[in-house]
Structure 1
Amino acid sequence: MAFPKIRLTSILPAWQWLQDYNLPKFKSDFLSALIVIAMLVPQGMAYAMVAGLPPITGLYASILPMILYAVVGGSLTLSIGPVALISMMTFATLIPFFEIGSPTYIQSACLLALLVGIISFLLGIFRFGFLIRLISHPVIKSFIIASAVLIALSQVKYLLDVPLNSDNIIIFLQSLWEYLPLTNFRTFIFGILAILFLTVLPKFLNSALFASLAEKRSFIIKSLPLILIFLSLALVHFFSLESFGIKTVGEIPSGFPPLSMPFWSWDLVIKLLPGAFMIAMVSFVESISIAQATAFQQRSELNSNQELIALGLSNIGAGITSAFPVTGSLSRTVVNADAGAKTPMSGIFSSIFIVIVSLYFTRLFQELPLAILAATIIVSIWKLVDFRPFIKTWRYSKADGIAMWITFFGVLCLDISTGLIIGIVTTFILLLWRISRPHIAVIGLIQGTQHFRNISRHQVLTSLNLVSIRIDENLSFLNANALKEFVIAEISKNKMLNHVIINCSSISNIDLSALETLEDINDQLLKLKIKLHLSEVKGPVMDKLKCSQLLNELSGNIYLTHYQAVHDLEPKTYA
């Protein structure tokens, strides 16, 4: 028995780019890693806060996962690590069961990452990469926009220094109404100044006044969050702002992330499994979308199943290093690519830099104000809140527009996971509704050609002796009756009818229910002395029809082309 040959590069894509790795690529990857680290340190700590975890776990989530993806992943520039959306989903999964910040909460976050990794890995091994197609792009866009709103709202409590609840917008508004009088205005002003620093200063730097800094301007703007962090650290340290009520991160443990399996039990696994599956699906969709965009620009191959395996191993790495679920980051990937990264080695360098920060520089961040991290999250995430896709989608497709709005309000008014499930279910319901109402047209011949078009759209030749019908959908139990009703309507309009021809050019599959409906149409037409004909039947459909009784019982013929059918049945009209 011969076993299929497995290429090493298909299992370890790193083998391919390591073979021709050279000094120029090393320099490009090293420099891009330095630029990415300026974003990664503040983002990692900030997104850990979004997940309800200690800031150090955000750094842990950026070490082993990036190394594993660099070895197994297919994208040359994808940056794996903590992201706002997955952090919010982590929080939403854990908060119903555990007290935020408790040891059980932290251990469960690690277990959640492990479960996400196992699910993703198994889906990749068993080649379930096609699952990305189960979630439509409009639903994903709406889900991301609504989640961005919730993530931004979840940080308002750090700006106001009050215990707001932000599970959904209704609870948030109720909580805001209750706690607004207790606002710490010093913290609020500090946070607002940070937001202005991150939003106004980039516009100022992009003005003509700084044209001389054109080459360095991009790097400076991307480094602003890190500059803000060090500036706020200096202010807190030298002016003792903690005594004025400015809350800080507090003690951050230093050292290499501990390698250990998170505590687990079957009861705990069952609790976390639904959330883990949702996170695995969303993280895969987000990661593969980013990876596909970069692969398209770099003209490199990308295998969705291999990406699932790589994402799975990255999350398993996060789970055993005291971190939480990770995925591809759009902002860091774009910066990584723009900074000149040539290979995934840039991710490995970023991981090494994070290790150095974790070992020696965590004490620097102990006086970091929580309001600063909150401002960093709000500014970075608010860029995703864009309602133009809703308008564009509604104009193009009302069904997709409805799915978008339902998903948006589901996420905002219920919770992240429930909103996404509602969006996916709505998409499928609308899809089934569309399939059950297929486009069916009577077609006629365009004079002087052998082409047939819809009689309601074109000037065409027709005959009272026959009617040509085209259905632009596969035939299934959902729409077969619609075809039958259409045929009944057409024969009721014309008492002189002798032939009905169904053009099958748009039909790629006929299920058993539809086959039985066709047999019934054939029998009913035969009683009226009207013959049923089929034209332009595709090979796979014909193969299935040969296994049925329809071909033996068909009152008419099967024609290779529709023109051949009408010319044979009505030569005077279609000569």
Structure 2
Amino acid sequence: MSKSASNIARWFPAWRWLQDYSSSKFKSDLLSALIVIAMLVPQGMAYAMVAGLPPITGLYASIIPMIIYALIGGSSTLSIGPVALISMMTFATLNPMFEAGSPVYIQAACLLALLVGIISFILGLFRFGFLIRLISHPVIKSFIIASAVLIALSQVKYLFDVPLLTNNISEFLVSAWQYFPYIQTPTMILGLSAILFLVMLPKITQITAIQKIISKHTLSFWMKALPLLLVLISILMVHFLHLEDYGIKTVGEIPSGFPPLSMPFWSWELVIKLLPGAAMIAMVSFVESISIAQATAFQQRSKLNSNQELIALGLANIGAGLSSSFPVTGSLSRTVVNADAGAKTPMAGVLSSLFIVVVSMYFTNAFRELPLAILSATIIVSIWKLVDFRPFIETWKYSKADGIAMWVTFFGVLFLDISTGLMIGVFSTFILLLWRISRPHIAVIGQIQGTEHFRNISRHQVITLPSIVSVRIDESLSFLNANSLKEFIIAEISQNTQLKHVVLNCTSISSIDLSALETLEEINQELDKLGIQLHLSEVKGPVMDRLNRSKLTHDLSGKVFLTHYQAMQTLHQTEAQIST
């Protein structure tokens, strides 16, 4: 590829796959698009409801954002559009300010998408993508699980046709107790039947006798299209059985046509109100999107630039804000289906968008009689798969600190609200990280007989000398932990009156800040007063460069050794000569 072509591909990744696009790839992408569209139509409408928006906005959110990502993004299979988690965060951001579904609420949702896009684009453009990935994986897992619970609970009001509050679990339980006598029985029966249909039918198809009759490929297609099949069946039932006469609420009139393109209403006051929520959504949407894109990149052995992905996601959200929709990100379920269906290039996403355009322009009336309870059922079934408490147990077994962060995030999301819970989780992660750094693992090490290796004296049979103590700190030195090292050395010299040398093994030290440097200078001075020399061994090059610019190496009472083995050999010989 020439330099000019390389530059074009850098800013316009679609240039790479468009150059050798073929009819065989088009056929594969077309098939993938048809399969994805079966999921996307009911999901898009359902997730718009989760966000407190009219169902048509879910279709709008699946058009321009997906086309933009296909041209700018780096993943060949990532499906951009509405997802449950971001929809819930949109609702959590806007619901306290405006009435859900009102014109001002819809405009605020568009502005929110625009702000999310601008934040993501700027961070990606200036290569600050790393800032947005400061949330630990345990916190993200916990946040997704807790959010999945809240999303499922938020749909119960449509399932039972009662006005439940779902900002947190406390509100939900109180309102459920109040409105329990007013449950609309026909709606409940329809909704629960839909859940049973979506849960049990895939299990029935696993029966060997059925698999012998119907091919595995055919079964797989119909299971992926199951939500759309349920939607169509329910529409026919409402139409021919007149279920609306029994109090079954439906989607109602849906406007048809291409998404209206316009700048959402905005004011500086509204921007400032929405900015915290937009920042949180940008952070979560990027983490979710890049995680999915990286997984598919691994499988396809393709390159992925996180900053480019952030730019693409930003432009996709700007497109969403300008096309009357709400924040979007990568969808795990649709991406997996897209990849499994054999998508070869991002053209599969473009084709999906074009199919959505056709649906939104010519087939919206077909969804007028779609029961709200059916959309709720599809959300509950799809989202409840994320509610898995095994990560909590596994994380707790591996790391108590990460386990605490997970539980704090989980209960914060459930009992406060979705955004506050995430902020608490992020804050707790940093607090626990600082606590962990301030309490580093420090060990006295000795030589394993017959080798040049040194290990912790409490774990291995090693050789030590009473006049020499070797100390290893398994952390970079900073103001947070320098005093811990000082206290450890004080404890060691207080227990050994024969001590003449302290050797600090610097294998694990990648940096030393100014506070830690001053502490090392203090340790050197105090040891010198006691007639004990301080030595350094195995200092990394960048660390040594900085130490050479300080006065520590000049004032050091001992020496700096290339290897710890060399240090021990030299000091042992020195002590042997003194004793003779």
TM-score by length of 2: 0.98
Q: Which residue of 2 aligns with 1:442?
A: 444
Aligned mates of 2:551, 2:543 — CA distance in 1: 14
Q: 1:154-190 CA distances to partner (integer Å, 9 max, x unpaired)?
A: 0000011000000000000001000011000110000
CA RMSD of aligned residues (A): 1.3
Measured in 2, the distance between the counterparts of 1:146 and 1:10 equals 38
Q: What is the match of residue 348 of structure 2?
A: 346
Cα deviation, residue 571, structure 1: 2.7
Which secondary structure state, in structure 1, belongs to the residue aligned with residue 536 of structure 2? Answer: strand
Could you tell me how far apart the structure 2 residues matched to 1:528 and 1:354 are? 80
Counterpart for residue 336 of structure 1: 338
Identity %: 75
Closer/same/farther in 2, CA of residues 443 and 158 from structure 1, 3 Å limit: same
In the alignment, is residue 123 of structure 1 matched against residue 123 of structure 2? yes
Give the 5 Å matches for 1:279-318.
279-318=281-320
**Residue of structure 2 equivalent to 1:195:** 195
Change (3 A) 1:237 1:94: same
- 1:382 equivalenced with 2:366 (yes/no): no
Alignment of structure 1 residues 99-498 onto 2, 5 Å: 99-211=99-211, 212-213=213-214, 214-498=216-500
Q: Secondary structure at the match of 1:570?
A: helix
Distance change (3 Å), C-alpha of 1:47 and 1:280:
same
Partner AA of 1:34 in structure 2: L
CA distance in 1, matches of 2:102, 2:457: 70
* Count of residue pairs brought into register by the alignment: 573
Segments of structure 1 that go 5 or more residues without pairing to the other structure are: none
Write out per-residue CA displacement over residues 248-286 of structure 1, whole angstroms, 9 at most, x where no aligned residue. Answer: 001100011111000000011001000000000000000
Deviation at 1:101, TM superposition (A): 1.1
Secondary structure (helix, strand or coil) at the match of 2:573 reads coil
SS in 1 for 2:16: helix
Secondary structure in structure 2 of the residue aligned to 1:453: strand
Give the structure 2 partner of residue 87 of structure 1: 87
Deviation at 1:215, TM superposition (A): 2.1
Taking the aligned partners of 1:227 and 1:5, their CA distance within structure 2 comes to 45
Cα displacement (A) at 1:105: 0.3
Instruction: Label 1:573 to 1:367 Cα distance change in 2 as closer, same or farther (>3 A).
Output: farther
Deviations 1:286-309 (A, max 9, x none): 000000000000000000000000
Partner of 1:568: 570
Distance 1:569 1:374 in 2: 74
Which amino acid letter does the alignment assign opposite residue 185 of structure 2?
F
For residues 416-435 of structure 1, give each alpha carbon's deviation from its aligned partner in whole angstroms, at most 9, with x where no partner exists. 11000000110110000000
> Which digits, 9 at most, give the CA deviation of each residue in 1:31-90, with x for residues without a partner?
100000000000000000000000000000000000000000000000000000000000
- Verify: 1:516 aligned to 2:530, yes or no: no
Task: Note the alpha carbon deviations across 1:358-409, whole angstroms, 9 max, x for none.
Answer: 0100000000000000000000000000000001101111110000000000
Secondary structure of 1:468's aligned partner: strand
Partner of 2:56: 56
Distance (Å, rounded) in 1 between the aligned partners of 2:131 and 2:526 = 42
1:200/1:254 CA distance change after superposition, 3 Å: same
Match of 1:158, as an amino acid? Y
Looking at structure 2, the residues matched to 448 and 396 of structure 1 have their Cα atoms a distance apart, in angstroms, of 34
The alpha-carbon deviation at position 573 of structure 1 amounts to 8.8
> After the TM superposition, which residues 62-73 of structure 1 pair with which residues of structure 2 at under 5 Å, given as runs?
62-73=62-73
Q: Does the 8 A contact of 1:83 with 1:328 survive in 2?
A: yes
CA contact (8 A) 2:92 2:417 kept: yes
How has the CA–CA distance of structure 1 residues 545 and 188 changed in structure 2, closer, same or farther, with 3 Å as cutoff?
A: same
Q: What are the Cα deviations for residues 302-325 of structure 1, in whole angstroms up to 9, with x where unaligned? A: 000000000000001100110000
Partner AA of 1:20 in structure 2? D
Q: Please tell me the residue identity of whatever aligns with 1:434.
A: R
Assess if the C-alpha contact under 8 Å between 2:504 and 2:536 holds in 1: yes
| 1:242 maps to amino acid | E
Secondary structure at the residue paired with 1:470? Answer: strand
Q: Which runs of 5+ in 2 are unaligned?
A: none
CA contact (8 A) 1:463 1:573 kept: no
TM, length-normalised to structure 1 = 0.98
> Are residues 4 and 564 of structure 1, via their aligned partners in 2, closer, same or farther at CA, if it must alter by over 3 Å?
farther
What is the identity, as a one-letter code, of the residue corresponding to 1:117?
Answer: G
Q: C-alpha displacement at 1:207, in angstroms?
A: 1.4
Report the secondary structure of 1:571's partner residue: helix
Shift of 1:129: 1.5
- Compared CA separation, residues 5 and 331, structure 1 to 2 (3 A): closer
Secondary structure of the 1:121 match is: helix
Q: Does 1:19 align with 2:34?
A: no
In structure 2, what is the Cα distance between the partners aligned to 1:9 and 1:256? Answer: 30
Distance 1:8 1:135 in 2: 33
Offset of 1:205 from its aligned partner?
A: 1.1
